[in-house]
Amino acid sequence: MWPPGPRGQPRRVAPTIMNDTLLTVENLKTYFFTERGVFKSVDDVSFTVPRGKTVGIVGESGSGKSVTALSILRLVSAPGKIVGGRVMVSCRGVLQYAPTGTVDLLTLEESEMRRFRGGKIAMIFQEPMTSLNPVFTIGDQIEEAVALHQKELNEAQRWEQVLEVLRLVRIPDPERAARSYPHELSGGMRQRAMIAIALGCRPEILIADEPTTALDVTVQAQVLELLRELRERLGMSLILITHDLGVVAEQADEVIVMYAGKIVEQGTVRQIFSHPRHPYTRALLEALPTFHTTGRLRTIPGSVPSLAALPRGCSFQERCDRVQQRCREEDPELMVMGEGQVARCFFPEL
């Protein structure tokens, strides 16, 4: 009943919209095939993004959080490859043959996928310095997005839209900013311009990959505040990827903690911060500076193991202070710890 997908395999299209869920990632696996072996950057990751909420994905570099985000948009480049899983998203207003219902992005033709990229799901990146094309003006780069996803607008209307999103992201003097080149703006303004490009696509979901890491501390707070405000005002969902639990505490509704390509803990922001179950989450929290911190901050000993040569059993065993014989033999599954909270640990914190 649905037109066949790439290479004749049927597109996975579910007839009903999941209740208040915009995006469902199921068993996503993205591997990198290199000369030194297969790196399982994203290994069996599942989560959902509710409408109008912020999902925070936390982890150290190499934990697979950015690759997860890129996989959702199918922007993983060689030698990386999505080898399994589903990314279900509502196709309302995007695909004519499926006016309602949801579709698995991983089964779409590239040309169909492009209409979701930006249009349904937009993404902003870590380095506003290098993520903007240096030879085009900010206005041109926003207009390009507008033209792609709002085809009904004429040139004048598009330009009005450009100024509109620049106003939305609170760039002073939008007219002038639109005519500026990226190098003429400060770091914070560049990141606002990045957000404006994303908004120019009118997305329902915004993925922000470490949006503030490259910015000064004071500017960080402003950009985060702006993201929160835009989410509320435009009714978007936000996937916020960061290594900073502090950012998550302020912004997120749901939290996903990743380690070595896998989700190790997942729950509401309250659960994660008041009752962390996985030793890694707890260690991350203890490494977080607070007003009450006295003396030295705790650090997590060791580093993320190589994804090409993970140990047998739990990936966190080498750095865990609660490690037991069983952890060295068996890889734990995600286990339900309470209402909506799961953790990948045999011996969770109580």
Distance CA 297, CA 294 (A): 8
- Interface mask toward another protein for 31-70; x: CB under 8 A: ----------------------------------------
Q: From the CB of 160, what's the least distance to another protein, in Å?
A: 19
- Interface mask toward another protein for 131-150; x: CB under 8 A: xxxxxx-------xx--xx-
Asked if residues 65 and 117 have their Cβ atoms less than 8 Å apart, the reply is no
Q: From the CB of 348, what's the least distance to another protein, in Å?
A: 37
Distance CA 196, CA 54 (A): 19
What Cα–Cα distance (Å) separates residue 283 from each residue in 61, 249, 301?
16, 15, 10
Residues 130-160 as b/e (b if ≥16 CB within 10 A, e otherwise) read: ebbeeeebbbebbbbbbeebeeeeeeeebbe
196 binds another protein (CB under 8 A): no
Straight-line distance from the first to the last Cα atom of the chain, in angstroms, rounded to the nearest whole number: 50
The conformational region for residue 116 under phi > 0 = left, psi -120 to 50 = alpha, else beta, is alpha
248 binds another protein (CB under 8 A): no
Q: From the CB of 106, what's the least distance to another protein, in Å?
A: 16
122 binds another protein (CB under 8 A): yes
Q: Which of 49, 82, 87, 123 binds another protein (CB under 8 A)?
A: 123
Closer to another protein at the Cβ: 148 or 163?
A: 148
Q: How many CA atoms lie within 13 A of 6 on its CB side?
A: 10
Place of tokens 């926003």: 142
- Interface mask toward another protein for 87-116; x: CB under 8 A: -----------------------xx--xxx
Count of CB atoms situated within 10 Å of the CB of 267: 24
Q: Is 66 helix (H, G, I), strand (E, B) or coil?
A: helix
Q: From the CB of 231, what's the least distance to another protein, in Å?
A: 18
Give DSSP secondary structure letters for 268-317: EHHHHHHS--SHHHHHHHHTS--TT--SPPP---S-PPPTTSPPSS-TTG
Closer to another protein at the Cβ: 210 or 244?
A: 210
Q: Which of 26, 44, 60, 127 binds another protein (CB under 8 A)?
A: 127
Q: From the CB of 115, what's the least distance to another protein, in Å?
A: 6
Radius of gyration for the alpha carbons in the chain, expressed in angstroms and rounded: 21
Q: From the CB of 79, what's the least distance to another protein, in Å?
A: 8
Q: From the CB of 158, what's the least distance to another protein, in Å?
A: 14
Q: Which of 42, 89, 194, 238 binds another protein (CB under 8 A)?
A: 194
Residues that bind another protein (CB under 8 A): 73, 75, 79, 110-111, 114-119, 122-123, 125, 127, 130-136, 144-145, 148-149, 181, 183, 194, 197, 201
